[in-house]
Structure 1
């Protein structure tokens, strides 16, 4: 049995073009490279373990990431790269070595294997710089944010893909990441998660893909049909035009994902692609499944999905939506074990678990979340992560007062403290405040923000305030149970600072413990 790591050493891992040494902290080998274990198709073909058992290196720049890759004994020597801070063009240079093939304008994982990149500490943000995986295998990327990667304009990186894979890639697990842009192709962005030219055995899990024209593709053209065996589960796809994903040939297992505001087309199976689509929740979207923009048919097997305010276009020679009332036109066998959450609870489960910096929580397969089982502390410390478990004790909001910054027509401040989930308060816009108040100081250490049915997950960012003093008690990115240091106050405020769709708070529960 390995002994716990008790010390760190400093190693000069590489030199810049001017000869300056790059020093990063290195620990002794660890038994696990990531938090938890791979799921889906990434568990096949020998499995995906990343850098498990290898040396652990801490990196705060893109150059240090490249240096860690280049100073391994070989291109297949296992390594765990723990990343903290902002990675951008200003701190990413090309590093040379016998075990790497890097570039200055992208995080390059080329012609290598057995690597884990894990966001830790206060978080890892890849800002305007993409991650490129080429001729590589056994790669894990976990708990990082990649945003605003452009293929045109300035600066450019990775062909505009947040994460892109191509040319004989095998066994990649991307987990608890946030991939986002600030527009579509006309603004210089491309895909958030692309696979092409013989990429196989990939899983994308517990991740957020949002605010872009294109979610991602499997196969770059109707002749690129060598890509196969991809799993997508417990992801949030939000504010996207299309490609969630675009599947050309191959097999994709797509389950327990939450789709919100897919504007043009969703899961686009074409050119013989086969998609098994289980227990997903589609909301406020158009043409979420079918074969689009081609007459080369694709296929799907559907079960247990929820279609909430989904519209469907008419069929034509190059437009074949699966709905309304989608039915299966093929049968697909899945070779690995998995548990399905009911589609009705997918919005809540995904809002609690998906994306970077949420503690790498996962579903237990029964509509509840569970804590990670291993690995270093990921994400920001000090920001509480809401959990779905019901607080114990008396709901102090019952019998208290309430007010707020604004209210939408037909809603009331009192609706959040009436114990009735069928009534709700909404602000008059996308943001606003709702408060619970008492005549005397009351001790509170936990609240439960319960969103109304049909709007779960609309609250995207929030603050909890001690209204008496203005002090911020907690911040976060999804509603639910929120715990903070016990505080005596007369008024507590839940402030919505960002939302998707119309936020609707059915209950604002408060508890002493």
Structure 2
């Protein structure tokens, strides 16, 4: 299928309008016998929670009319919309920029950031009342423009896979919302930059800038496999961001959120790099949210590299989360790795942690709410460490209870934690599909 074609004089002149979607049918048939088509790979049996029940096959069953190669944001969004929930494979070639026109393209007429700063300076506005008024209304309108532009809804039964070693997205936010059976592989995601963060003077004792847009959001969806991707802040690290009103002008949210009753997710062989609030599983303690989250949020993380992380790798509420054979490398400003939240049931085993001098293993676990945790067989800087024991010894006000109350059975080969830094370092991330 071609959504646009070359016509008349353009053909005669040898000039052809760019195709919105390029069909790649027949490629697999032309490949040498025995060649494995990674675009049609499915999640293997027993490979984490994503393999539970019906498993995760994405678009593996796509017919020739629903296999696409895309090189622009417009092509990508058209491919997502074409064919509804029929199985589809979308091959991403090169780096697709969702904000190629820059932040100015989203700004509402009359929005002026310098005026925004002047209007809501704590010395003028104070810290007791949420901001309101003309510039806040214009900021909100600008933010709505960006939201519409950078978010892309992924339908059920879809595989999105990068072609080669250098494929991915800049500034995009994939929304996997209330669908089943999605695969995302071999892509580099440069975190979206929120062009219009909101100043909230009531957030904390001194106020904070709050931003939107995760690279990927799994919202109420089931059977999702994220594999061999790289999530990074790229050209816009928090370390390069300015301060306004004495606090960091935060333009990033998370790299991956799994929320609102999402279930049966496996994240394997990914790199999560250079980020602050990395992964959130369950986004609220509120009882209204809890009703939909209890009994869900079953997620497996294995053989991922978390490099220069600060916190939330992940922070967990409600979910049965299995984290094994991952390598966590603490970065400057490191706060914690695993956040133990409301009614969470985290199992963290056979992982490797690399902490700089002066950072205690007691910081690996952070207790937000009363919830038991299983954490054994882990290594810190190459040596076995009982993470719960050291946490309780050094942070007595946050005593953790042992035994998450369940035993993971959906696991592939479990490697010794001492070998994990080398194994994960060699094979995790985009461009390393085998």
User: TM-score w.r.t. structure 2 length?
Assistant: 0.68
Match of 2:245 in 1: none
Q: What are the superposed Cα offsets for residues 165-211 of structure 1, whole Å, 9 maximum, x if unpaired?
A: 22x21111000000012127743111111111111111111011111
Shift of 1:283: 1.3
Q: Greater strand share, 1 or 2?
A: 1
Q: What are the superposed Cα offsets for residues 342-377 of structure 1, whole Å, 9 maximum, x if unpaired?
A: 00000000001111012x1xxxxxxxxxxx3xxxxx
In structure 2, the CA distance between the partners of 1:153 and 1:22, relative to structure 1 (3 Å rule), is same
Give the total of aligned pairs.
325
In structure 2, the CA distance between the partners of 1:349 and 1:20, relative to structure 1 (3 Å rule), is closer
Is the CA contact (8 Å cut-off) linking 2:267 and 2:300 kept in structure 1? yes
Match of 2:222 in 1: 170
Distance 1:138 1:24 in 2: 24
Distance 1:104 1:246 in 2: 28
Is the CA contact (8 Å cut-off) linking 1:62 and 1:107 kept in structure 2? no
Distance 1:127 1:260 in 2: 24
Shift of 1:33: 3.7
Indicate yes or no: 2:67 matched with 1:56.
yes
Shift of 1:290: 3.1
Match of 2:186 among 133, 143, 148: 143
Match of 1:131 in 2: 174
Q: Secondary structure of 1:159's match?
A: coil
Indicate yes or no: 2:377 matched with 1:315.
no
In structure 2, the CA distance between the partners of 1:138 and 1:162, relative to structure 1 (3 Å rule), is same
Match of 1:298 among 371, 374, 388: 371
In structure 2, the CA distance between the partners of 1:91 and 1:53, relative to structure 1 (3 Å rule), is farther
Distance 2:98 2:38 in 1: 30
Shift of 1:106: 2.5
Indicate yes or no: 2:381 matched with 1:338.
no
Q: Secondary structure of 1:187's match?
A: coil
Q: What are the superposed Cα offsets for residues 199-239 of structure 1, whole Å, 9 maximum, x if unpaired?
A: 11111110111111111110111134414210000011111
In structure 2, the CA distance between the partners of 1:350 and 1:32, relative to structure 1 (3 Å rule), is closer
User: TM-score w.r.t. structure 1 length?
Assistant: 0.58
Q: Greater helix share, 1 or 2?
A: 2
Indicate yes or no: 2:256 matched with 1:193.
yes
Match of 1:260 in 2: 329
Shift of 1:251: 0.3
Q: How does 1:468-487 map to 2 (within 5 A)?
A: none
Is the CA contact (8 Å cut-off) linking 2:48 and 2:410 kept in structure 1? yes
Is the CA contact (8 Å cut-off) linking 1:28 and 1:56 kept in structure 2? no
Distance 2:177 2:226 in 1: 15
Shift of 1:152: 4.4
Match of 1:247 among 310, 313, 316: 316
Match of 2:32 in 1: none
Q: What are the superposed Cα offsets for residues 107-163 of structure 1, whole Å, 9 maximum, x if unpaired?
A: 5225x2000000013521211222221122111000000013123449xxx923111
Greater RCO (Cα-Cα under 8 Å, separation 6 or more): 2
Q: How does 1:426-465 map to 2 (within 5 A)?
A: none
Shift of 1:268: 1.1
Shift of 1:303: 2.5
Shift of 1:273: 0.4
Distance 1:253 1:354 in 2: 18
Match of 1:431 in 2: none
Unpaired segments ≥5 residues, structure 1? 1-9, 94-102, 361-371, 373-513
Shift of 1:252: 0.4
Indicate yes or no: 2:334 matched with 1:328.
no
Match of 1:85 among 78, 91, 94: 94
Is the CA contact (8 Å cut-off) linking 2:259 and 2:297 kept in structure 1? no
Match of 1:232 in 2: 301
Q: Secondary structure of 1:191's match?
A: coil
The RMSD of aligned alpha carbons is 3.1
Distance 1:350 1:25 in 2: 34
Distance 1:61 1:306 in 2: 43
Shift of 1:298: 2.0
